[in-house]
Copies of this chain bind each other. A is one copy, B any other.
């Protein structure tokens, strides 16, 4: 089944909201309420949630815990992912310490950098290897996902090198550049500076 990107994004948001509602002891919610809390139309919420079968009760709403489990099941990965983080700079360290990054779906198994000070030691408790050894370590640790927190200039070469391992399936890049994905590798880019530019552009033009 194919599911649109905006839908996946909202599913994650529903999940977070439901977790919160669960803690507050809420038992049921309506699409209307979810919409208000997340800034979405109720019809949008219903369409998203009905995408994977009838889960709500007509005339009542959605059972919080049941819906949560349901969405978790949809988002849940087929297995635990091993992740590698390339670039032990401040952004990299920030991510490693980031609370929302703790999950039982994945774990960061290796850090890569070129700084001799860092290579051989640990960063936030995770062993740090030289970037040159990417293919070797990726295979050894069966790492399928990389997070890139490196400058734009070295991003593409890291992608090409890492692809040699053959285990690589996905990349989340924070490098402010467009990367070319090798066959069979899915690349997602989060470009912080682009987001700020977009915000400033709309502040200029739209003057909400």
Query: In the complex, which of the residues A2, A16, A97, A106 has the most CB atoms of chain B within 10 Å of its own CB atom?
Result: A16
Q: Do B192 and A190 have beta carbons less than 8 Å apart? A: yes
* Chain B residue at minimum C-beta to C-beta distance from A196: B172
Q: Is the CB of A208 within 8 A of B186?
A: yes
> Judging by beta carbons under 8 Å apart, are A145 and B100 in contact?
no
B residues in contact with A43, CB < 8 Å: none
Given A91-B94, A100-B176, A186:B202 Cβ within 8 A: yes
A12, A39, A100: which has the most chain B beta carbons within 10 Å?
A100
Q: Which of A3-11, A61-69, A135-143 contacts B (4 or more CB under 8 A)?
A: A3-11
Q: Is A170 an interface residue (CB 8 A)?
A: yes
> A61 → chain B, closest Cβ, in Å?
19
Near B by CB (< 8 A), chain A positions 176-201 give: 176-178, 180, 184-186, 188, 190, 192-201
Q: Does A60 contact B (CB under 8 A)?
A: no
A178 and B37 form a contact (CB under 8 A): yes
Is A195 within 8 A of B188, CB to CB? yes
- Does A93 reach chain B (CB closer than 8 Å)? yes
A105 at the interface (CB under 8 A from B): yes
24 A-B residue pairs with CB within 8 Å: A8-B197, A8-B198, A9-B194, A12-B197, A13-B194, A16-B176, A75-B197, A75-B200, A77-B201, A77-B204, A78-B204, A89-B94, A90-B90, A90-B93, A95-B192, A98-B192, A100-B176, A100-B192, A106-B200, A170-B200, A171-B199, A172-B199, A186-B206, A188-B199
Q: What 8 A-B pairs have minimum CB-CB distances, sorted nearest first?
A: A90-B94, A100-B193, A91-B94, A100-B176, A188-B199, A94-B94, A170-B203, A12-B197
The interface of chain A, by Cβ under 8 A from chain B, is: 1-3, 5, 8-9, 12-13, 16-17, 37-39, 75-78, 81, 89-91, 93-95, 97-101, 103, 105-106, 144-145, 147, 151-152, 169-172, 176-178, 180, 184-186, 188, 190, 192-206, 208
